[in-house]
Amino acid sequence: MHHFLARLTRSVPRGALLAAVCVACAASAHAAAPAPAPAPAPAPASVTEPAFAWPGGARAAVSLAYDDALDSQLDNALPTLDRHGIKGTFYLQLSSPPVAARLPAWRAAAARGHELGNHSLFHQCSGKGPDRGWVAAHRDLATTSRAQMVDQVLLANTMLEAIDGRRERTYTAPCGDVQALGGDYLPALRPAFVAIKAGNGPGVPASMAAVDPYQVASVGPVGASGAELIALVEQAVARGTMVAFTFHGIGGDHLSVSSQAHEELVRYLAAHRDVVWTDTFINIMQHLRQQVTQAQARLPGWTLAWSDEFSGATLDRTIWTLETGGHGWGNNEMQFYTARPENVRVEDGHLVIEARKERYEGKDYTSARLKTAGLKETQYGRFEARIKVPKGQGIWPAFWMLGADIGKAGWPRSGEIDIMEIIGKEPRNAYGTLHGPGYSGEHAFSKPIALDGADYGDDFHVFAVEWEPQAIRWYRDGVHYHTATPALVKGDWVFEHPFFVLLNLAVGGYWPGYPDSTTAFPRRMLVDYVRVYRKDAAPAP
Ligand SMILES: [Zn+2]
């Protein structure tokens, strides 16, 4: 270990390495002009910053990726990777001839654990600029509309699924270009991808905190030696970060690196598995996202039991069930709850529950209601969500819990803990409420917390309860405003058993009243996350 680290002070050779991704990674066979020398890398992260945790105690992660779907990758790169047991990522430009010609070989690579990434259908790069004479007019990103690019890239995901059967995907923007006709096309792709490589930046990040999974810069080595490639890995180890390599040809094709240099790098990575975690780009990015979530969710004195950050492309059905129906739900509510994406979806990192004014199954409105019953049932802890509620007369968003024994015990003996309810006619009040036998409905044990100078619907707020034996406390943005104990409620205390979580957006009801001419539709409730924590055991005295 000491021996290895001692060599890290060596500086990274310049010249042959391109810090930017894919400077001319099209089908043109001519080599790109050397890029300007990379900007000096930022200083390593401060020693006081906790090291980013890589799996197995590794000091850095390395992704080996190969763009454009080239013959030399199947002929030279893959056999090397397989011989050393290293997994790589192949970004297929689906119109590249070796895709059609050698489909079984790509499929077999995926079956062996390599990643097939999305590199678009037609590899549109900007035709602007002196080095872009090779861009065909019909494949010029600058004249392809943003919507058309998004359509094509999403179609490429479907085609890749037909090859490898996988639904989770990463994307590499051809040439690192993002400006289509009408603007940057990448933001609209985010919900469909785990991570995206695009743009320029330092090849080896100074800190993992600086890495945005939706704008990862990579290193595009052309003609580099094995020693030069290994030096970049050592730099990543010294910084505790990562290096994402984007290769093109290996021992052939365009923008190539020799088979020997590639072999030296892969052999080195295989020999240093204890220090360097080499894996597919998607696995590395999944790990990064998990670590970021855990860091954001960290709460002293508590351990995260489960959470949904709503960062994927679809609703996590291992956590949520959708309840459907239009029977008024005991409150004379006016909506029909559906499971359609019009009413419930995950989008841009949020759960979206959308109430719409439309005739549906005999009702005049639609919306959605989610619960964790049977999937996540928890007794005690901190239950927290960051929510932006919609505004409007007759609109009734809620984040709440029901006793998991409701089917047997019935309501209200099952117990109900309302962590947040806001009714449109009181836009500056959020209610925390307990329902139990003898204190339910309009007699519930309830208290509002007012917001000064703003409506709850203006912004996100964090709503939470801390629930322990014989006590429940309500918080809004960290402010404790309501407490329930057995002595305070006017009936039996029914909160010593597991509960499940619900999120819903009702339209109309006895309590909020009904929409009127001032109520605009659609109305959206946005949930940034739901997090459930277990309290840590108190330290021994
Ligand atoms: Zn490319």
Provide DSSP, 175-192: GG--EEBTEE-SGGGGGG
Residue 225 token pair = 């030696």
- Angle made by CA atoms 150, 155, 157, in degrees to the nearest 5: 100
SS (H, E, C) 253-272: CCCCECHHHHHHHHHHHHHC
- Please tell me the predicted confidence (pLDDT) of residue 92: 98
Amino acid letter, 122: F
Higher pLDDT, 354 or 2: 354
pLDDT for res 541: 63
3-state SS, one letter per residue, for 279-338: CCHHHHHHHHHHHHHHHHCCECCEEEEEEECCCCCCCCCCCCEEECECCCCCCCCCEEEC
Interval between CA 254 and ligand 1 midpoint (Å): 10
Question: Looking at the predicted structure, is the pLDDT value of residue 69 above 50?
Answer: yes
Residue 17 is predicted with a pLDDT of: 39
Task: Compute, in angstroms, the gap from residue 68 CA to the centroid of ligand 1.
Answer: 5
Task: Indicate the DSSP class of residue 491.
Answer: S
Bridge partners (DSSP) of residue 396 are 506
Catalytic residue among 264, 309, 421, 466: 421
How far, in Å, is the centroid of ligand 1 from the Cα of 150? Answer: 17
**For 233-269, how does the pLDDT look when each residue is reduced to its tens digit (9 = 90+)?**
999 999 999 999 999 999 999 999 999 999 999 999 9
The pLDDT, as a whole number, for residue 50 is 59
Q: Are 510 and 355 in contact (CB under 8 A)?
A: no
Question: Do residues 110 and 145 make contact, with C-beta atoms less than 8 angstroms apart?
Answer: no
Q: Does 16-28+52-292 match 297-535 in CATH topology? A: no
Cβ count within 10 A of residue 434: 25
How far from each other are the two terminal CA atoms of the chain, in whole angstroms? 40
Centre of ligand 1 from the C-alpha of residue 187, in Å: 19
Q: Is the pLDDT of residue 21 over 80?
A: no
CATH architecture, domain defined by 16-28+52-292: Alpha-Beta Barrel (3.20)
The C-alpha atoms of residue 105 and residue 255 are separated, in whole angstroms, by: 22
pLDDT tens figures, 279-324: 999 999 999 988 888 788 888 899 889 999 998 778 999 999 999 9
Q: Is residue 28 predicted with pLDDT exceeding 90? A: no
Query: Please, which pLDDT band fits residue 535 given cuts at 50, 70 and 90?
Result: very high
> pLDDT tens, 74-90?
999 999 999 999 999 99
287 within 8 A of 509, measured Cβ to Cβ: no
Confidence of residue 91 (pLDDT cuts 50, 70, 90): very high
Domain layout of the chain by residue ranges = 16-28+52-292, 297-535
pLDDT at 507 over 90: yes
- Residue 22 CA to ligand 1 centre (angstroms): 6
Provide the CA 213 distance to its chain's centre, in angstroms: 8
pLDDT at 58: 95
Q: What pLDDT score does 202 carry?
A: 65
Mean pLDDT of the chain: 89
Give the mean pLDDT of 499-511: 96
Q: How far is the CA of 266 from the centre of ligand 1 (A)?
A: 22
Longest dimension (CA), the chain: 82
High-pLDDT (> 70) share of the chain, %: 89
> Ligand 1 centroid to 218 CA: how many Å?
12
Q: Is residue 39 scored above 90 in pLDDT?
A: no
Reduced to 3 states (helix: H, G, I; strand: E, B; else coil), residue 470 is coil
Q: Please, which pLDDT band fits residue 72 given cuts at 50, 70 and 90?
A: very high
Query: What secondary structure letter does DSSP report for 154?
Result: H
Q: Using CB atoms within 10 Å of the CB of residue 370, give its burial: 0 to 12 exposed, 13 to 18 middle, 19+ buried.
A: buried
Q: How many angstroms does the Cα of residue 136 sit away from the middle of ligand 1? A: 14
pLDDT at 46: 41
pLDDT of residue 200: 64
pLDDT at 19: 35
Which residue of the set 358, 416, 442, 496 is catalytic?
Answer: 416
| pLDDT in the model for residue 5 | 28
Note the pLDDT of residue 37.
Answer: 40
Distance 36 CA to ligand 1 centre (A): 19
pLDDT per position as a tens digit, 179-234? 999 999 999 998 889 999 987 666 899 888 889 999 999 999 999 999 999 999 99
How many A from CA of 270 to the centre of ligand 1?
A: 26
More confident residue, 409 or 31: 409
Is residue 339's pLDDT more than 70? yes
pLDDT at 313: 77
- Is the pLDDT at 130 greater than 60? The verdict is yes
416: annotated active-site residue: yes
Q: Active site includes 421? A: yes
Predicted pLDDT at 12: 32
| Token reading at 268 | 């080195």
Residue 453 binned pLDDT confidence (cut-offs 50, 70, 90): confident
Ligand 1 centroid from CA 517, angstroms: 53
Backbone angles phi, psi at 498, to 5 degrees: -65, 145
Q: Which listed CATH number (3.40.50.720, 1.10.1760.20, 2.60.120.200, 2.40.50.220) goes with 297-535? A: 2.60.120.200
| Cα–Cα distance for residue pair 179/198, rounded to 1 Å | 11
Report CA(404)–ligand 1 centroid distance (Å).
Answer: 52
Q: Could you tell me which residues come within 8 angstroms of residue 83 by beta carbon, excluding any fewer than 6 positions away?
A: none
pLDDT, residue 196, reads 96
Nearest Cα neighbor of 325 from 313, 316, 311, 338 is 338
| Cross-strand bridge partners of residue 499 | 378, 403
How high is the pLDDT of residue 26?
A: 36
pLDDT at 43 over 70: no
- Give the pLDDT confidence score for residue 47 in this predicted structure: 40
24 pLDDT tier (thresholds 50, 70, 90)? very low
